Amino acid sequence: MPVQALKCKECDTTYPLEARYVCEHCFGPLEVDYDFSGIDPAEAKRRIQAGPQTIWRYADFLPFTGPPAAGLPVGLTPLQRAPRLAEALGVGEVFVKNDTANPTHSFKDRVVAVALAKARELGYEVVACASTGNLANAVAAHSAAAGLESYVFIPADLEEQKVLATGVYGTNLVAVRGTYDDVNRLCTEISGERDWAFVNVNLRPYYSQGSKTIAYEIAEQLGFELPGHVVAPIASGSLFTKIAQGFQEWLDVGLLSGSLPVFHGAQAGGCSPVARAFEDGRDVCRPVKPDTIAKSLAIGNPADGPYALDLARSTDGSIDAVTDDEIRDGIRLLAQTTGIFTETAGGVTTAVLAKLAERGDLGPDDRVVCVITGDGLKTLDAVRGTFEQHEIEPSLQEFENSVLGAAVGAV
C-alpha cells in the first residue's frame, strides 16, 4: 500500500503509523505521508471503477496497510447539476456535491469511516470525539454498527436535533458547559489519560483523510475532470484543505490533468477567524468566541486555519464571511432552486457562493462545485418563521378566497 508514515507538516520529522497527532520536536501537526510513485493511472482508474459503491473504491489512496474494515456504506453522494441556481446567480455551471445523502446525513460519515477503520486496525476498543454535532452523530452511529463503545463530547447548547440524533445510538453522551474549543481542550486532556481512539485528536491524521474522498468523487463524477472553482465551508479548515489534497494527489499520479481549482472558503460572520485573517492579509488566525447560528462551523481557534489561508491565496481564491440573515437566505436559495434542504453550514456556503457571483468573482464562463456538508433537518430552528402557512376549513370557497385570493392580491 502507498501509505508510508506520519510526517510533520512543519519540520518533516517522520513517525510510525500509530495514534499520534503532534510532532515531538516542533509541535507541528502530523499528516499521513504516501508514496504514489508505483501507481499506474490506467490500472488505478480501472480498480476505482470496479470498486464498491462507497469510499472504499479509493482505498489505494487512504491510510491503511491492508484492506480496511468497512462499516456503514459511506460516500458516492450525488453531484447534482443545479441549472436554476446557476441561472439565478448568473454563473455558467453550478454543481452541488450533496453530502446530506450519507448515512447520518453529513460529510462527517467519511472521516469517521476512515478513523474507525484505523482504530480497529490499531486495536482500539473505545472510540471518542469532540463535536459540534455532525461528528457526534457519525461517531455514535458508526461505533454502534461496529460494536465499539463510544464517548461523544458536545457543547451543552448544541441544537436539539443533533443531540437527539446522537443519543439514539446508545453512545455515552457528555454535554460540556462551554464552547467547542473548551470541549476540544477537555478531550485532548482525556486522550492523554485514556487508551481511547479520539477520532479528531490522536487519530486526527487518519480521520482527516476521509475528506479527500469528496475530491475523488467530484473528479470521477465529472468524468475524471476538474471544476474551475470549489466553494466549501471552513470550520477547522481540514475539509477545505483535504479536498484540495485529493485533487492534487490525482493530478500527481496522472488520473487528472490541469491545475487545482480556485478555492473559495465560507465562514459564518459570528465565527470567522480565517475570513478575518484573509481580509487583513495575516497568516495567523486570531481566536474568536463564536456567536452564530452555524454551530457546526463554530470553531474559534481553527487548527488548519493557516493552511486554509495558504490554499485560498495560492489558487487565487478567497475566504468570505456571511451574516446569520444571509445564512438563512442561503438555506432558502438552495432549497428553492435545487430541492436540497441544507443545515446552517450549507447556508453559509450557498450565501458565499451568491456573494462571489454578485461580486463578479464567478461568471457565465465558470464551472463551480458547491460542497453541501449537512442536512437541514439537523438545524430546523434556522428556518422557523421564514415562510407562510395557510390554515383553512375544508371548504373549496375558503381555499379559493384565503389561498388563491391571497396569492392574486400579492401579485
pLDDT per residue as tens digits for the range 290-307: 999 999 999 999 999 999
Among 158, 138, 248, CA closest to 200? 138
Mean pLDDT score across all residues of the chain: 96
How far is Cα 112 from Cα 5, in angstroms, rounded to an integer?
A: 20
Write down the residue that cell numbers 458547559 correspond to.
177
Confidence of residue 12 (pLDDT cuts 50, 70, 90): very high
Residue 409 has pLDDT above 90, yes or no: no
Q: Provide the pLDDT for residue 68.
A: 86
- Enumerate residues 6+ apart whose C-beta is below 8 A from 184: 130, 200, 201
**203-258 pLDDT, tens per residue?**
999 999 999 999 999 999 999 999 999 999 999 999 999 999 999 999 999 999 99
Q: Provide the pLDDT for residue 322.
A: 98
Give the Cβ contact number of residue 334 at 10 Å.
Answer: 27
Instruction: Look at domain 79-105+210-383 and name its CATH class.
Output: alpha beta
How far is Cα 263 from Cα 94, in angstroms, rounded to an integer?
A: 14
Domain range list for the chain: 79-105+210-383
How far is Cα 12 from Cα 18, in angstroms, rounded to an integer?
A: 17
Q: SS3 string of 352-409?
A: HHHHHHHHCCCCCCCEEEEEECEEHHHCHHHHCCCCCCCCCCCCHHHHHHHHHHHHHH
- The residue ranges of DSSP E strands in 68-213, in sequence order, are 79-81, 93-98, 126-130, 149-155, 172-176, 197-198
User: Do the Cβ atoms of 147 and 119 come closer than 8 Å?
Assistant: no
Alpha-carbon torsion, ordered 269, 271, 273, 279, to 10 deg: 0
**42-70 pLDDT, tens per residue?**
999 999 999 999 999 999 999 998 888 88
C-alpha pair distances (Å), 214 with each of 73, 108, 276, 334, 362? 15, 11, 26, 20, 22
Among 209, 190, 202, 146, CA closest to 18? 202
Integer-rounded Cα Rg, in Å, for the chain is 21
Amino acid at 147: G
**339-348 pLDDT, tens per residue?**
999 999 999 9
Residue 1 has pLDDT above 90, yes or no: no
For residues 239-269, one letter each, b for 16 or more C-beta atoms within 10 angstroms of the residue's C-beta and e for the rest, the string is bbbbbbbbbebbbebebbeeebbbbbbbbbb
